[in-house]
Structure 1
Amino acid sequence: MQIKFYNTPEPEEFKDISHDRPNFLDYQPDLVLLEKLHKKFAGHKKLIVIGHGGSITTFAGLYGALKSKSTKKAFLVSTNDPDYLSEVKAQTSPHDTIVVAVSKSGETVTQLEALLQFIDYPLLIVTGAAGPLAEIAHQLKSEVVIHPPIGGRFSGFTEATLVPAALCGFDVEKIVKGGAEWLVKFNETNPAYEAASMFAQLEGQGVVDVFMPFYSSRLFPFSNLIVQLCHESFGKEGKGQTYFAHEAPESQHHTNQRFFGGQKNIAGWFISSQNSQTDLTTTVPENLTDIPLKEQTLSVLDKIPLQEALQFEREATIDDAKMNDVPIVDMQLEELSEHHLGELIAFWQMYAVYSSLFRAVNPYDQPQVEASKKISFSRREKFQGKL
């Protein structure tokens, strides 16, 4: 993974943080179990994954990037929206679909409501040893995988993410190894630490928005994970930046106006892959080559690989930012493979922890997330006449 910084402050010198070592750094998933589950459910051609936040965002990113390799068509459920759930039910059946429900606590209400719509499907539950979801699994005699004591947004290298990844036929060992190559650097200087230092300094200078254009349709599904890691980890106690992601180059046709023409309180974080999974080249038919286009003709597009054309768009926006003194990061994966995606996940986990430490906040809680959950549950109690 290549990471370049432009118009950013110098990073602070690395300080020993071994006393703040996160528990997710040393976790070792059960690869033997994951292979057994892959074989056991190989006959199911469809997969429904039900979860919220960190229980689904890392897998959503992996599936989005690797779905051309997947042995199963996956449906991601992170809502109790009846219209969406009806669509999923219409495209699946208990005969060809395995449902994986992931929740560390097992008491996320909207997840339970969604799961109950698929209660007659074969179920595989990833949850803690106790809780409503564990009890459902016990009553239905469903298979259970214990969720380790690691918060959802940091569970990318645990069974919470790797169970559905293994069921899709992804090489989970390569995902873990790719991540390990970054996680082992936690207590030494590394690009995640440097980036966290720079962006903490930028926040102190009034840069409170971070625009994240993804120049890869395959990588964009990682945006929810990245936003969650940033917002839940260090968006607290009146601190933290707002990270907002858009697919590019589409974003150039609206958010570039805000990026370059709006308030000067914004930085950019460009995410892309050096290589696409498919090769397409523009071919201009002979009878169209002379059509005028921007003081040229349409022939100027002929024989340009689309991956090159996509990078032209990215490079142009980066150059514009550099000329306008906008702070930016240019992050590029070498390719969309399990190993490199593992690196990406590990980078953002580390970035979230470092960013929290720079702001002196707890990386692992999310108190404001919990408050609205209590309010919405009381609405259900009131609906049932229990309040």
Structure 2
Amino acid sequence: MLYHNMPATISFSNIQEHLFQLSAEELNMLSSLETPAFEIYQEHIKALLETLAPFQTYTTILLVANGGSLWSSIAYNTALGKNNGKRLIVINDMDPDRILRMRQECSHETSLVVVISKSGSAIGIFETLFALWDYPKLFVTIPETPLAQVGEREHIVTIFHPEVSGRYSSFTSSAYVPSILLGLPVEEIENGGREGYAMYNTVNEEHSALRLATALFRLEEKGYAEVFLPIYSHFLRGFSMIVTQLFHESFGKDGKGLTVLAAEAPESQHHTNQRFFGGRKNMIGCFLHTHNVSHDINLNVPKSLQNISLHNGSLGDLHKQSLTRSFQSEYEGTVAHAKESGIPTIEISVSHISGYEIGNLMAFWHYVSVFSSLLRGVNPYNQPEVERSKEIALRQRNTIR
């Protein structure tokens, strides 16, 4: 079964057709969905560009953030990052060895600390901030938070973060501030995201986001608990953690939900294929790749080496071979193995890498997560079990004192 929702194509194998069907009750429930805050809010990109113009001289962005304040930026930069002399360094913990090494490598004259926190109250954010206090700084947070108060007292430029849950904040200042500082095409990302929302927010059993959410829900009911997500694209590998967070925090609740095992492929074939094919039969295969690549390399094997035996041929068989075809063959081999093994198999193919396609893909995952949550009867936007760990960690800090 192949379904087109340009620019992404999704196909399903070894999943019975009735598993895509929704009951009248489910359709009514989904149809009553109010437009989510993440779709209603629209970022003022022009204003952001103007505010950030004075900071464009910095060539190293030290991004201090966690979770939803971090992973959309990573996905965008991994896919769309340019060879423009700018680099992104992520600081998502307070490991002193890591911070000391970073301080040794990053000049105060060329480095900007960007702190992004919706709550503006995470203790770890402040610990890292004060470890980097002597660097130039820029904040993104909600007004009147502790972080906003620091910005006001110290006259640090502070950009507004909307009331949008972090993991769904991909089209807000949370993701756009670092993206703009890195020179990414945020207008293209925005256009792709907006058109993606328009595609995926309707309750239509034929559109790919709802079909995927429905299939995953039904498969979970049949005992499938894990999603293996090998990403066959260097440029798409940055989606691994945002998809993981969207799934785990949005609908891993009330004893329900799926575990995502995202991995860069084809390297994943050397550590997880054995589990996927030989372990417990509770895994769904969800393969993410690009349909077209912008460049290719044809191999040139020295003539003096072409007669060396390799498998059933020789090294000469590689002469003039296309690396695009080789890479695609790795993908096709694992997918074919999954299909012949009877494993529920989903293929998501992005037409090519551009700001529009990346924004559209992000919108797709947002609605897959929302529909997945609603089908399980859980709130897509909270994460109640996360807070308890934070409380214990804070208490432990106080105990050490």
State if a TM-score over 0.5 links the two structures: yes
Which stretch of the first structure deviates more once superposed, 58-67 or 277-286?
277-286
Q: Does 1:142 align with 2:151?
A: no
Query: SS of the counterpart of 2:33?
Result: helix
Aligned counterpart for 1:170 among listed residues 176, 180, 184: 184
1:346-361 maps to which residues of 2 (within 5 A)? 346-361=363-378
Whole-angstrom distance in 2 between the partners of 1:19 and 1:267: 28
Say if 1:211 and 1:244, in contact at 8 Å, map to a contact too.
yes
Structure 2: give runs of 5+ residues left out of the alignment: 1-7
1:268-287 maps to which residues of 2 (within 5 A)? 268-276=285-293, 278-287=295-304
Whole-angstrom distance in 2 between the partners of 1:114 and 1:352: 31
Say if 1:70 and 1:170, in contact at 8 Å, map to a contact too.
no
Tell me the residue number matched to 2:353.
Answer: 336
Whole-angstrom distance in 1 between the partners of 2:51 and 2:90: 19
Q: CA RMSD in A?
A: 1.4
Aligned counterpart for 2:57 among listed residues 43, 46, 70: 43
Counterpart amino acid of 1:333? V
Aligned counterpart for 2:233 among listed residues 216, 228, 232: 216
Whole-angstrom distance in 1 between the partners of 2:294 and 2:145: 42
State the Cα distance separating 1:38 from its structure 2 match: 4.0
Q: Does 1:187 align with 2:194?
A: no
Whole-angstrom distance in 1 between the partners of 2:259 and 2:309: 42
Tell me the residue number matched to 2:5.
Answer: none
Whole-angstrom distance in 2 between the partners of 1:96 and 1:89: 12
Counterpart amino acid of 1:144? T
Q: Does 1:321 align with 2:338?
A: yes
Deviations 1:79-133 (A, max 9, x none): 1111222222222122111111100100111121111122121211100112221
Say if 1:9 and 1:202, in contact at 8 Å, map to a contact too.
no
1:1-387 maps to which residues of 2 (within 5 A)? 1-10=8-17, 11-13=20-22, 15=28, 16-70=30-84, 72-185=86-199, 186-189=201-204, 190-276=207-293, 278-384=295-401
Aligned residues: 384
Deviations 1:33-52 (A, max 9, x none): 22213422121111111100
Whole-angstrom distance in 1 between the partners of 2:183 and 2:317: 42
Whole-angstrom distance in 2 between the partners of 1:69 and 1:191: 34
Say if 2:81 and 2:184, in contact at 8 Å, map to a contact too.
no
Say if 1:45 and 1:72, in contact at 8 Å, map to a contact too.
yes
Whole-angstrom distance in 2 between the partners of 1:199 and 1:141: 48
Query: SS of the counterpart of 1:220?
Result: coil
Say if 1:18 and 1:187, in contact at 8 Å, map to a contact too.
no
Deviations 1:21-75 (A, max 9, x none): 3111121101112221342212111111110000001001111112235552111
- TM-score of the pair, normalised by structure 1: 0.96
Say if 2:82 and 2:184, in contact at 8 Å, map to a contact too.
no
Deviations 1:207-259 (A, max 9, x none): 10111111112211210100000000000110001001111111112211111
Counterpart amino acid of 2:349? Q
Whole-angstrom distance in 1 between the partners of 2:176 and 2:84: 13
Structure 1: give runs of 5+ residues left out of the alignment: none
Counterpart amino acid of 2:356? H
Q: Percent sequence identity over matched residues?
A: 37
Whole-angstrom distance in 2 between the partners of 1:48 and 1:202: 41
Change (3 A) 1:70 1:364: farther
Whole-angstrom distance in 2 between the partners of 1:59 and 1:138: 25
Change (3 A) 1:336 1:70: farther
Which stretch of the first structure deviates more once superposed, 330-339 or 221-230?
330-339
Counterpart amino acid of 2:202? N
Whole-angstrom distance in 1 between the partners of 2:111 and 2:295: 28
